[in-house]
Structure formats: C-alpha cells, structure tokens
Amino acid sequence: MDLAEPALGVAASTPTVWLKPGREKSLRRRHPWVFSGAVDRVDGDAAAGATVELASSSGERLGRAAYSPASQIRARVWSFEPGERIDADFFRRRLERAVDSRRRLGLLEPGAACRLAFSESDGLPGLIVDRYGEYLVCQFLSAGAEVWRATIVEQLAELCTPRGIYERSEGGARHKEGLPSRRELLAGEEPPRELQIVGGNARWIVDIAHGQKTGAYLDQQANRERVAAHARGAEVLDAFSYTGGFSIACLRAGAASAALVDSSADALALAERETALNGVHDRCRFVTANVFDELRAVRDAGTRFDLVVLDPPKFVHSADQIPSGSRGYKDVNMLGLALVRPGGTLATFSCSGHVDAALFQKIVAGAAVDAGRTAQILERLSQPADHPVATEFPEADYLKGLILRVH
C-alpha cells in the first residue's frame, strides 16, 4: 500500500485524468483506450507518456494509464488492477506472460520467427516485439511505450537473451502520437543484412533494418501453408507478393510456377534470393509493377492461373476510409477473380481492421457477381495465435482471408 495515497487511493505525485460523467463505461469493460472527448480535466503535471490515474466523475479509480497529449487516444491503460505499480517489474510480468504464451504454442524454436508481444492484446499498448531467431525487433508506437523504452529493452534482454535488439519505430501510428520515426540498434549486435529464418518447410530471408514493417509479414506465416495446400501442380499468381512468402510456400508444396507481382523493387530483389535459397527460383517470374495495372494487362492478354493470391496492404486506415477502401478491395478482387481458370482457387486477404469479416465477404461476393464468376468459400482464414485478440479489445482483430473455389 502506498503511504502517500490520499482519499482516491492515488499517489500524491501521480497526475489524475478525470473522465466526464458516464464516460467510464468502456473502461469498466476493460477496453484500454480513453479518447480525448471523454476527458474532463487533468490534475497534476502529465507529460507525454507519464503514468496517470484514471478516475470517473464520481471519484472512482479505474486504472493506471499512459498519458498521450498529442493523440486522440489520450490515455492507454497499463493496468486495471487497483494499486498495481507501473515499473520495471510490471513490464517484466507482462513480457513474461507474452513470451510464455508463445512458448506454449511451440513458436520459440531456434531460428524461427514469431510476434512475441502484440500491443493491447498482450496488455502492452503501443509495444510490438517480433522475434527473428536470435534477434528481436521492437516498435514503440505510443507515448507510453516510448517513455518505458529503455526499461522494456532491458527486460527483453534479460528475459530472451537475444543476440541483438533492433528498433523499427516508424509509420503513421508514431506520427499520431507526436513521435518521430526511429530506426536503430538498441542492444547487442547489429543484425546481419540477410538474416535466415526457418518456418513451415522453407527458409526465409529477413532484412530487419531495411525490410517493410519489422522485416517480414509474420501474420501470414500460417496462412501461407493453408493456401499452399491448394497449390499442387498450380500456376500461381502471387499479387502483392513482398518477398514471395506465398509463392515459396506454394512452390515447396508442388506448384508448377509462380508469378510474383509487387511495386517494391527491393522486395522483389530479396524475393529473388529467397526463392533461390529454397530451390524454386527457376519456377518464378518477378514483376515489379502496380498490381492493379499488371492484373488488368494480364487479364486483357488472356493469361489465366490456377491459384491467385491477393494480399494487398491496408486500404482502410480509419472509419471514414471504409467506402473508398471497400471499392479498392472490390476492384482488386474483380481483377483477381477474372484471372482464375474455371475450377481454380482464389486466396484473398484484407488486413484492414475497419473492414470486418462480414463486410469483406460481402465485398468479395459483389466482386464475383460483377466479374461474372461463381465462387464458393472453402476456408476462412484469420490471424495466427502469436497475434492474439484480447476479448476486451476487438480492434486487434484485423486480418481476414477467404480461400474460394472459382467457377
């Protein structure tokens, strides 16, 4: 018990964020965000990332959170436990819990890659930690995660004893929190330019410092195998291929050939080396192009495929982009459907959290009608167990996919 705690049970030095009447409801359901519109006033000096007490208008203490003055998400809850201190031990407990979950899933094999900490879903808002063999890559995406950066790195070093810890804190999320991008070595050794990882029955090359995100799209690891189960003998079109994750899984599973299409020349350069490493390079074609243009050209040229994979980037970043993003998904799915030989397969994905599974299915259904094709859902795919969805935080549920038979 903190001796300095006054009536509210708040340490005298801890600033308090007072909510407007009735705005504590989502916190009671343990949803970890406080939006700026819910805040009545802030008592005390709350710097960016500082730990604050959350209090309802009647003085009920609701939890401890990280304050983020620049963001619409004004506070992100660290703990709903009354009196739980936010300190090095707190981060140690949360990180241990997250790592233990991956261990129980069998994801910590030597040389393998997985997501070790997935932000709100692991009780660590704004923190992403990916493990690539002996290296860890962190993203500190909120003001709160940012101020605890050194502590988190220290705890990770002790807990996981990696060879190196690298930072890839970049992108829109940092910007919304008023934080600059940062990319640097945090501890230990600089990762090699081309780190080899094992996963499924393939080997992957990850460029931690220069690749997209933290170097790879770990959320598609399991889905590549699911799609590859439909690939025997197939001519595959891998649209939005990045370094060819789907192509390699499909070719290793017996696909006849793969055409990789991506707008990033860097990604395809890595794809060339990765496909060679896996002994499938001679069955690949690499096309640096805008997928929309390329698929239209291929359609008009009359070329068709047995298996088309569509794994576009996030089209919808906020609720107001749902209509335009939906049109984008419909367009790309119409093109993809048109390229499938009758009886062939389409594997199509969306990583936009704002487009839920029901809406995505509706969009694909509309695309099939407009493309003049009949499609059946064979399998529904989502995100893997190392990207869990905390039940009180449905926003974490972002990845969805359909495997369709197309007539």
Contact flag: residue 313 with ligand SAH (CB under 6 A): yes
Contact flag: residue 348 with ligand SAH (CB under 6 A): no
Q: How far apart are CA 13 and CA 371, in angstroms?
A: 63
327 CB-near residues (< 8 Å, 6+ apart): none
User: Which ranges of 2-87 would DSSP assign to H, the alpha helix?
Assistant: 25-28
Residue 351 appears among annotated catalytic residues: yes
Q: How far apart are CA 336 and CA 239, in angstroms?
A: 9
Contact flag: residue 132 with ligand SAH (CB under 6 A): no
Contact flag: residue 290 with ligand SAH (CB under 6 A): yes
Q: Which 8-state DSSP code applies to residue 14?
A: S
Contact flag: residue 142 with ligand SAH (CB under 6 A): no
Measured in degrees and rounded to the nearest 5, phi and psi for residue 37 equal -65, -15
Contact flag: residue 248 with ligand SAH (CB under 6 A): no
90 CB-near residues (< 8 Å, 6+ apart): 78, 79, 84
Q: Which stretch binds ligand SAH (CB under 6 A): 263-271, 298-306, 319-327, 382-390?
A: 263-271
Query: What is the β-pairing status of strands 73-79 and 113-118?
Result: unpaired
Quick one: which of 16, 151, 196, 263 contacts ligand SAH (CB under 6 A)?
Answer: 263
Q: Which stretch binds ligand SAH (CB under 6 A): 92-100, 169-177, 212-220, 366-374?
A: 212-220
Q: Which stretch binds ligand SAH (CB under 6 A): 104-112, 181-189, 286-294, 376-384?
A: 286-294
Q: Which stretch binds ligand SAH (CB under 6 A): 12-20, 119-127, 289-297, 375-383?
A: 289-297
Nearer to ligand SAH, 16 or 264 (CB): 264
Closest CA to 121 of 96, 155, 94, 100: 94
Contact flag: residue 291 with ligand SAH (CB under 6 A): yes
Count of alpha carbons within 13 Å of 349, Cβ hemisphere only? 25
53 CB-near residues (< 8 Å, 6+ apart): 8, 10, 14, 15, 16, 17, 61, 63, 64
Quick one: which of 32, 123, 144, 245 contacts ligand SAH (CB under 6 A)?
Answer: 245
From the candidates 138, 250, 284, 351, give the one annotated as an active-site residue. Answer: 351
Contact flag: residue 295 with ligand SAH (CB under 6 A): no
Contact flag: residue 344 with ligand SAH (CB under 6 A): no
Reported in sequence order, the residue ranges of 23-143 that DSSP labels E, i.e. its strands, are 33-35, 39-43, 51-55, 61-67, 73-79, 113-118, 127-132, 135-140
Binding residues for ligand SAH, per CB under 6 A? 212, 217, 220, 240-242, 245-246, 262-264, 267, 290-292, 311, 313
Q: Which active-site residues does the annotation give?
A: 351
